[in-house]
Amino acid sequence: AEIDSLANFVVAKSEGKDDAQGAELFQAKACFACHGGDAKGNIMLGSANLTDSIWRFEPAGFESAKHTIMYGVNAFGNAETRKAEMPS
């Protein structure tokens, strides 16, 4: 349920909408540590801006966000992790 809530939050942010329940969980799970309190990402960490409607992985949307939350990006030893290079 928490993963679904966070994925809904990501989709809402990408559409310029607010999601109070997801925002609360975003803070509680410390997602802000990488994505920033405003969800616009941290350039120094290479973390995604969740508010700009640019999806790194296709197809975009809820299922994509959910997969990334569940399995991470470049998570060593996790066969389901997303593979990505840091943008220049």
88 has a pLDDT exceeding 70: no
Q: Is the dihedral of CA 75, 76, 81, 83 positive or negative?
A: positive
Tens-digit pLDDT profile for residues 43-77: 888 899 999 999 999 999 999 999 999 999 999 99
Average pLDDT over residues 8-23: 96
- Please tell me the predicted confidence (pLDDT) of residue 85: 75
What is the Cα–Cα distance from 21 to 6, expressed in whole angstroms?
9
Q: What are phi and psi of 39, to 5 degrees?
A: 65, 20
What's the pTM value of the predicted model, to 2 decimals?
Answer: 0.88
